[in-house]
């Protein structure tokens, strides 16, 4: 039983972990901030506004020591949600444990380390797919030999569903990722054939459970069936224990609503039942989001509520006392067979392209997810898919939970970034720089060979290097990467209804009045890689008749301003879900003003607390949209109105 936690600083996160363990939590699930996840130190220009927001900053060994101070790592099962820089974080965890007197062989836990889904959903990739797969392979080979109780890869289909995946796509893309990694390990020759079963046995999965209970429960049974077949038939694994489908779950956040957020509690419970009721497909670890996740950062009390939901199910109900209550159900068997058949057909398509990496590079998998997400949004907008409190049953009594919205969420420590910058600069000043330089030189030289990079990375940790320095050394060898956006060629609506037709006419007419087609720049400033919303805005804007400029994720405010100038745009839309809006939006606003684009309105969307939204609008931001604003066509109409206002045209 876990809660996904970490914020502000190593010391504050350490105190939070110790409180959660005292409340009955049985494992740790560490959330790292975006700079740590994407290989930047807190004082890097791209880290501005992002330090300590969605997780804890851990740029160096000193911070890792503080994170686990007074927590015996010999007794912990620690899950770390880290991907591109997973090797670095595992190395720091191992060294911190050794300093506690714990041998690496005694460590238990998981590094997520699923880089494929980063190109498709969360966007915290750093290196090109082939180089990233090499780092994953090296880690797997190292842990099998040296940290045998560690799960070096946690294939994470969770974020695929958050990006719009259907159950069939979640099954197929996750299994395709597993095949790509296992084939790479086998081809590397680093693991002897007689130990390959151990590699398969240490692979775990992290899945999503949506609110469609029967379908999601059947999906989990389908996962187990597919994994059994793949491990037995493709890889020849004979030990049944090594073929077990081992998975943890966080239930769906995509379906949580800002409107009537109290309804999220029953959604979370239903989703939890989908991965616990069927004993033969039961999750080994469950972590639940908080009821107010669509509003902002949950408070410790909100996290406690999610933990208590699990404890009531486990200790008060009789759920865990019986065998699988769905065995023999014709309905369940038929649905599982349908999902398996669909997943196998999709897996065959991916394999025919050359496998998961090829399907990432070509943009196929990303475009499929964007399409599925667009179809889901269209069903919500039309009312075909009902979401209680959002597009149906919207009448409500005032909620005591949200009477004071500013108090209903946790506010990140405003001094976290400055403190982290001071800390990393002090760390650098107190180390042996020559030893750091020498260690990083070895990392670079070995990256140019087939040598396993884990030993060199451990030496760099011990020398005192930082996550930004390690990543920069590898960037020089591997290069950086910009993944396909998946937006090209996707239509968000099958046919335009009267509302979209009216908006198209407004776009066309306004363009004629301004002397050309309206151009809409969709920008993702900072390190927030959750691009689902930006992609859907881009798709619907194009459906509405805009010329859309969308360059993908991880841009500085200066790059966004430069694109606005170069493309002579009529509106700039910024999407930020990481909490960095109060730093990055004003930076873009100032840049546009300095460039003379005073008639280009700025639209902002994301997880933005109400008080922050009011401040942004008071500062001149044309409009702020949050998850409650689900009508994309209405948003497009508002965008045209703001363009007209900014250019002194009648509205």
Using one digit for the tens of pLDDT, what is the confidence trace for 532-586? Answer: 889 999 999 999 999 999 988 999 999 999 999 999 999 999 999 888 999 999 9
What mean pLDDT comes out for the span 263-267?
95
Residue with tokens 């059947």: 218
Residue 2 predicted with pLDDT over 70: no
**How is residue 442 written in tokens?**
């070895």
Residues 249 and 285: beta-carbon distance below 8 Å: yes
Please identify every residue annotated as catalytic: 4, 158-159, 524, 528, 530
**How is residue 439 written in tokens?**
């260690």
Model confidence pLDDT, tens digit, residues 299-336: 889 988 998 999 999 999 999 899 999 999 999 999 99
For the beta carbon of residue 121, count every other beta carbon within 10 angstroms.
26
Calpha distance 191→110 (Å, rounded)? 19
Confidence of residue 482 (pLDDT cuts 50, 70, 90): confident
Confidence of residue 622 (pLDDT cuts 50, 70, 90): very high
The pLDDT score that the predictor gives to residue 492 is 63
Residue 280 predicted with pLDDT over 80: yes
Residue 494 predicted with pLDDT over 60: no
Residues 6+ apart with CB under 8 A from 316: none
The pLDDT score that the predictor gives to residue 297 is 77
Residues 506 and 499: beta-carbon distance below 8 Å: no
Residues 6+ apart with CB under 8 A from 561: 588, 591, 592, 594, 595, 597
Calpha distance 301→446 (Å, rounded)? 47
Calpha distance 60→72 (Å, rounded)? 20
To which H or E segment does residue 108 belong?
strand 108-111
Model confidence pLDDT, tens digit, residues 173-218: 999 999 999 999 999 999 999 999 999 999 999 999 999 999 999 9
Write down the architecture of domain 498-647 according to CATH.
3-Layer(aba) Sandwich (3.40)
Q: What's this model's pTM, rounded to 2 decimal places?
A: 0.89
Q: How far is CA 51 from CA 62, 246, 413, in A?
A: 17, 33, 10
Residue 97 predicted with pLDDT over 90: yes
Residue with tokens 């009821």: 291
Calpha distance 56→10 (Å, rounded)? 6
The pLDDT score that the predictor gives to residue 491 is 65
Residue 384 predicted with pLDDT over 90: yes
Calpha distance 41→43 (Å, rounded)? 6
Integer-rounded Cα Rg, in Å, for the chain is: 24
What mean pLDDT comes out for the span 369-381?
90
Strand order in the sheet with 247-251: 153-156, 203-209, 247-251, 285-287
Lowest mean pLDDT among 121-130, 494-503, 531-540: 494-503
What mean pLDDT comes out for the span 356-362?
94
Q: What mean pLDDT, rounded, does the chain reach?
A: 93
What mean pLDDT comes out for the span 147-159?
94
Residue 400 predicted with pLDDT over 80: yes
């Amino acid at each position: 039983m876990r809660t996904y936690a970490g914020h502000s600083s190593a010391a504050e996160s350490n105190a939070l972990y110790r409180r959660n363990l005292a409340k009955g939590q049985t494992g740790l699930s560490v959330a790292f901030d975006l700079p740590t996840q994407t290989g930047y130190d807190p004082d890097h220009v791209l880290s501005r506004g992002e330090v300590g927001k969605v997780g804890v900053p851990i740029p160096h060994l000193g911070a890792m020591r503080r994170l686990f101070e007074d927590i015996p790592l010999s007794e912990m099962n620690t899950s770390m949600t880290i991907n591109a820089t997973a090797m670095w974080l595992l190395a720091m965890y191992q060294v911190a444990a050794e300093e506690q007197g714990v041998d690496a062989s005694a460590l238990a836990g998981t590094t997520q380390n699923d880089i494929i889904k980063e190109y498709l959903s969360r966007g915290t990739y750093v290196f090109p797919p082939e180089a990233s797969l090499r780092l994953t392979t090296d880690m797997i080979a190292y842990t099998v030999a040296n940290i045998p109780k560690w799960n070096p890869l946690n294939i994470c289909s969770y974020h695929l569903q958050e990006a719009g995946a259907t159950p069939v796509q979640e099954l197929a893309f996750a299994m395709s990722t597993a095949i790509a990694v296992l084939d790479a390990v086998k081809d590397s020759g680093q693991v002897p054939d007689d130990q390959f079963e151990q590699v398969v046995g240490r692979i775990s999965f992290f899945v999503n459970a949506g609110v469609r209970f029967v379908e999601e429960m059947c999906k989990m049974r389908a996962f187990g069936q597919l994994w059994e077949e793949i491990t037995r038939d493709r890889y020849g694994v004979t030990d049944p224990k090594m073929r077990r489908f081992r998975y943890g779950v966080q239930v769906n956040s995509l379906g949580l609503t800002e409107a009537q957020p109290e309804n999220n509690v029953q959604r979370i419970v239903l989703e939890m039942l989908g991965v616990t009721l069927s004993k033969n497909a039961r999750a080994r670890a469950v972590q639940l989001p908080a009821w107010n996740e669509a509003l902002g950062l949950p408070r410790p009390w909100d996290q406690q509520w999610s933990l208590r939901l699990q404890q009531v199910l486990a200790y008060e109900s009789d759920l865990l006392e019986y065998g699988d209550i769905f065995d023999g159900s014709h309905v369940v068997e038929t649905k599982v067979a349908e999902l398996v058949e669909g997943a196998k057909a999709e897996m065959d398509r991916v394999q025919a392209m050359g496998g998961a990496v090829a399907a990432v590079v070509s943009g196929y998998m990303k475009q499929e997810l964007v399409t599925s997400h667009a179809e889901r949004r269209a069903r919500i907008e039309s009312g075909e898919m009902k979401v209680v409190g959002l597009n149906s049953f919207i009448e409500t009594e005032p909620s005591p939970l949200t009477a004071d919205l500013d108090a209903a969420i946790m506010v990140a420590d405003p001094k976290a970034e400055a403190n982290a910058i001071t800390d990393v600069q002090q760390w650098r000043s107190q180390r042996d720089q020559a030893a750091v330089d020498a260690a990083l030189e070895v990392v670079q030289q070995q990256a140019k060979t087939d040598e396993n990079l884990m030993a060199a990375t451990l030496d760099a940790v011990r020398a005192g290097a930082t996550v930004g320095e390690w990543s920069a050394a590898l960037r020089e060898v591997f290069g950086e990467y910009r993944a396909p956006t998946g937006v090209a060629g996707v239509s968000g609506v099958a046919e335009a209804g009267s509302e979209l037709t009216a908006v198209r006419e407004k776009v066309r007419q306004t363009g004629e009045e301004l002397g050309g087609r309206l151009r809409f720049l969709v920008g993702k400033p900072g390190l927030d890689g959750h691009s689902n919303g930006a992609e859907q805005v881009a798709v619907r804007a194009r459906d509405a008749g805009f010329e859309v400029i969308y360059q993908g994720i991880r841009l500085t405010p200066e790059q966004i301003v430069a694109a606005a100038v170069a493309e002579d745009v009529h509106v700039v839309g910024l999407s930020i879900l990481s909490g960095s809006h109060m730093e990055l939006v004003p930076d873009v606003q100032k840049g546009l003003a300095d460039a003379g684009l005073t008639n280009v309105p700025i639209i902002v969307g994301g997880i933005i607390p109400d008080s922050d939204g009011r401040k942004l609008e008071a500062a001149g931001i044309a409009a702020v949209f949050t998850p409650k604003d689900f009508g994309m066509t209405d948003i497009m109409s508002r965008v045209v109105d703001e363009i007209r206002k900014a250019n002194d045209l009648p509205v």
